[in-house]
Amino acid sequence: MEQEFSSTLLENAVSALSRLPGVGRKTALRFALHLLRRDPSDTYTIADAIADMRRGIKYCTVCHNISETDVCPICSSEKRQHSLVCVVESVRDVMIIENTRQYSGLYHVLGGLVSPIDGVGPDMLQIDSLVRRVKAGGVDEVILATGATVEADTTNFYIYRLMRREAPGVKVTQIARGVSVGNELEYTDEATLARSLAGRIPFEL
């Protein structure tokens, strides 16, 4: 149901808002009409906030996480364990891990996963910079903290081989895959259960 609006200003706003992920013209129109009903300052706040964000946020030159400074607060913190580097797919994953408040090392954001189907090769990701960073010294362990998908497995395997060749002294680990906390065994899929068995660890009290 393509719509034509009598107002060019409305048309432009709807077209622009449709660029947001998962937002079609119908939702964009709902956003626009909502903004028109509310106080103008609401709209200006949103417009300024996203423009300021885009202007002010850059990427950390060390870990490639978003940052307002050249080196992000995590990479420049003396309270973090600099010998530990956790490799993640995206900026979003850094936030998720930070929210657990269980990790005190640094990060390395790949900016995606190796995916031949989508035409994403290792050279399009921050893998070279990871190798350079590790070879520069001071890193004891690289934790591969990607999801449990085929692309994640491919990426992990690629990084592991490269690490063995380029920095053989550095430990490479990956986060455990197994039964989700709170889940019953009968509702766990077979692949996860198999992984969980293969990855068993000594029982500790």
Query: Residues in the site for its own copies, rule: CB under 8 A?
Result: 1, 3-10, 12-13, 15-17, 19-22, 27, 29-36, 38, 40, 42-57, 66-68, 72-74, 90-92, 95, 98-99
Tokens describing residue 48 = 């300024």
Rounded to a whole number of angstroms, the minimum distance from the CB of residue 95 to its own copies is 6
Number of Cβ within 10 Å of residue 115's Cβ equals 17
Specify the residue, 97 or 134, whose C-beta has the smaller distance to its own copies: 97
Give dist(CA 45, CA 42) in Å, integer. Answer: 5
The nearest distance, CB 68 to its own copies, in angstroms, is 5
CB-nearer residue toward its own copies: 111 or 162: 111
Q: Closest approach of Cβ 41 to its own copies, in Å? A: 9
131 closest CA partner among 93, 89, 159? 159
**Cβ closest to its own copies, residue 56 vs residue 202:** 56
d(CA 25, CA 7): 15
Rounded to a whole number of angstroms, the minimum distance from the CB of residue 127 to its own copies is 18
- Select 73 or 121, whichever has its Cβ closest to its own copies: 73
Please provide the distance, in angstroms rounded to a whole number, between the alpha carbons at the two ends of the chain: 62
Token output for 33? 């009409």
Answer yes or no: are the C-beta atoms of 28 and 43 closer than 8 Å: no
